Amino acid sequence: MKDCRKAVIAGNWKMNKTPAETTALINEMKPLVADAKCDVVLCVPFIDIAAAVEAAKDSNIKIGAENVHFKESGAFTGEISAKMLVEAGVEYVVVGHSERRQYFGETDQTVNLRTLAAIKEGLTAIVCVGETLEQRELGYTETLLKYQTKMALTNVAKEDLDKIIIAYEPVWAIGTGVTATADQADEGNGFVREAIAEVYGKEVAETVTIQYGGSMNAKNADELVAKENVDGGLIGGASLKAEDFSIIVKAASK
Ligand code: PGA
């Protein structure tokens, strides 16, 4: 982490927790993260948003969604627009998570469209990029991360970069218990920052928050966020446990 950037710890609950469980978990987390010096975000299933916004009221926890559609409205059964999210009290949204890319046909083009739709309504987009193990072993990590980053940011204006967070999440490290080493995380995040610099210039690239994600937990968070290019994390499994999540928030608050 560098002082010129905002550290952000965001939980990604994935398909976990009912609305009642959401209320209980946020109530448990609130006092544990109250003195955080980083931004604290919980990205929750759509159905949990109302409960999450209510439970997080008067606290430093901000609420995010896990996806957003790219059209403002229309015949898109099952989808949710950015306007709907904003009205519901959402401030952040995860875009292009590898599980969406892998299981739900998300492409670099749709990731870009969703990103544009999110920031147009004033949401902060947490855009996920990351290589598979096969791509890493073939030596394509840098090329792929730069490509995914640039594709996701197509037509995003320089002035809007303050509404963009990129999460580098190596696919092989997500939910597997295998974490990238701190050096691998720093290197991946560095490739993302270089890609942003190549398009927008070095100065603004230095200000963009780039998270690491993939089995980040209470034990390894300290070492990961100590790296220059790691400005916080996108946390899956460990964000479902109040105590573990708060330890990660503390690591990013130093
Ligand atoms: P994990 O998930 O922390 O459970 O590996 C991270 C993510 O998918 O964002």
Domain boundaries, the chain: 2-71+79-155+163-252
CB 9 within 8 A of CB 248: yes
**Residue pair 97/213 in contact by the 8 Å Cβ criterion:** no
Q: What is the pLDDT of residue 176?
A: 87
CA of 135 to the centre of ligand 1 (A): 19
- Predicted confidence band of residue 57 (pLDDT cuts 50, 70, 90): very high
The pLDDT of residue 254 is 85
Q: Tens of pLDDT along 89-138? A: 999 999 999 999 999 999 999 999 999 999 999 999 999 999 999 999 99
Ligand 1 close to Cβ of residue 11 (< 6 A): no
Against a cut of 0.85, is the pTM above it?
yes
Tokens at 168, concatenated: 């580098």
Q: Does domain 2-71+79-155+163-252 match CATH 3.20.20.70?
A: yes
Which atom of ligand 1 is least distant from the CA of 175?
Answer: 5
CB neighbour list of residue 216: distance below 8 Å, 6 or more residues apart: 179, 224, 233, 234, 235, 238, 248
Which residues have a catalytic role annotated? 97, 169
pLDDT tens profile 18-45: 999 999 999 999 999 999 999 999 999 9
Is the CB–ligand 1 distance for residue 66 below 6 Å? no
Per-residue pLDDT tens for 164-190?
999 999 999 998 888 889 999 999 999
Distance (Å) of CA 173 to CA 67, 133, 134, 201:
21, 9, 13, 30
Atom of ligand 1 nearest to the CA of 177: 5
Give CA–CA dist 10/32, Å, rounded.
15
